[in-house]
Amino acid sequence: MDMNRLITAESVTEGHPDKLADRISDAVLDAVLAQDPQGRVACETLITGSLVVIGGEIASTAQIDAATLARRVVRDVGYIKPEYGLAFDSCAVATLLRQQSPDIAHAVLRTEADDPYDRIGAGDQGIMFGYATTETPERMPLPITLAHKLARKLAEVRKDGSLLYLRPDGKTQVTVEYEGDRPIRAHTVLLAAQHAPEASLDDMRTDLRRLVVEPVLDGWLDERTQVLVNTSGRFVVGGPASDTGMTGRKIIVDTYGGYGSHGGGAFSGKDPTKADRSGWYMARYAALNVVAAGLATACEVQVAYAIGRAHPLALSVTARDPQVPPTALDRAVRRVFDFRPAAIIDLLDLRRPIYEPLACYGHFGRLDLDLTWEKTDQAEALLAAAKGP
């Protein structure tokens, strides 16, 4: 008999320095798209100590105040006092945004093409992955789903006043035990929560188990589950006062938590002409609909692009428990989904200011948001294409 296996995923709260950087970058992107849906943005943020640095390239008619946007995000997340690790009203913000390279702009916009969907080439080369599974209602792997829910709950009990000693920074990690492909229990739960200096570690461990872990992991905990809180002891100094934050350093948190694959590109601060944004969303949309159609219990879609080219260089589909031959499934995905960036942008309506809420708690499986790439409206078309001639 095969041994059970352990799969682990982590998430972070919105006050984690890297996630704060992601959110500022996406706030800049949303501000541009709100004024100029055709705007092109590649925005990176670095936060260290009390300094926020916003850099990158923009090609747009939009007029934005990036420093004001950054301070608003810092405030919304909860960094309102210097002792928290950052304060919105006293931090310094340096803005180093510039025009997009004309070489890149020319490569992306191919106005001579007859087909309008061939007029936008991929904004860069890269490999993107979509993944979906039947193991949760979100059609996401259970470990990352639980890790996100714990991180969100940590922020909730801080903001609603349930635990006044909590501060914005925090991380979660969940190890799930699987029997074959079926999750059966939470093996280990790990929380790291920034707190006020007067907080008692013993009280924190009791409070976080009662108010965070047990409500979120109801049904997955058993008498053998380890629940570990602040294993290093005190966590008073946090946020950017403790660790420098940068856009794009939580790419596994943003996707599938180590399940599936990753090509290395980040999402935040990038407009949808960047395949790192649109290609990932379309690959998830395709994999999700394969699973929703009952064609597999899990599916991974890989797509690769070259800068300036509209059509993908490669597309492959891998399925667990496929209900049709692999060639039929591959053919069906190619028939139903158009992976050219302009087609993706149009189908998924990506030129809208929708990205800041995605910067925390994942870009996929978000039942709290109405996301076009999370719809299963192509399942019937896929089923027909897979079983047809």
- Residue ranges of the annotated binding site for L-methionine are 57, 100, 243, 274
Binding-site annotation: residue ranges for Mg(2+) = 18
d(CA 207, CA 212): 8
d(CA 229, CA 209): 8
Binding-site annotation: residue ranges for ATP = 16, 169-171, 234-235, 243, 249-250, 266, 270
Contact 93, 71 (CB under 8 A): yes
Residue given tokens 């982590």 in the structure block: 10
d(CA 327, CA 117): 26
d(CA 120, CA 300): 25
Neighbours of 213 (CB within 10 A): 25
Binding-site annotation: residue ranges = 16, 18, 44, 57, 100, 169-171, 234-235, 243, 249-250, 266, 270, 274
**306 token code pair:** 């070259």
Binding-site annotation: residue ranges for K(+) = 44
**5 token code pair:** 């296996």
d(CA 191, CA 128): 30
d(CA 320, CA 343): 28
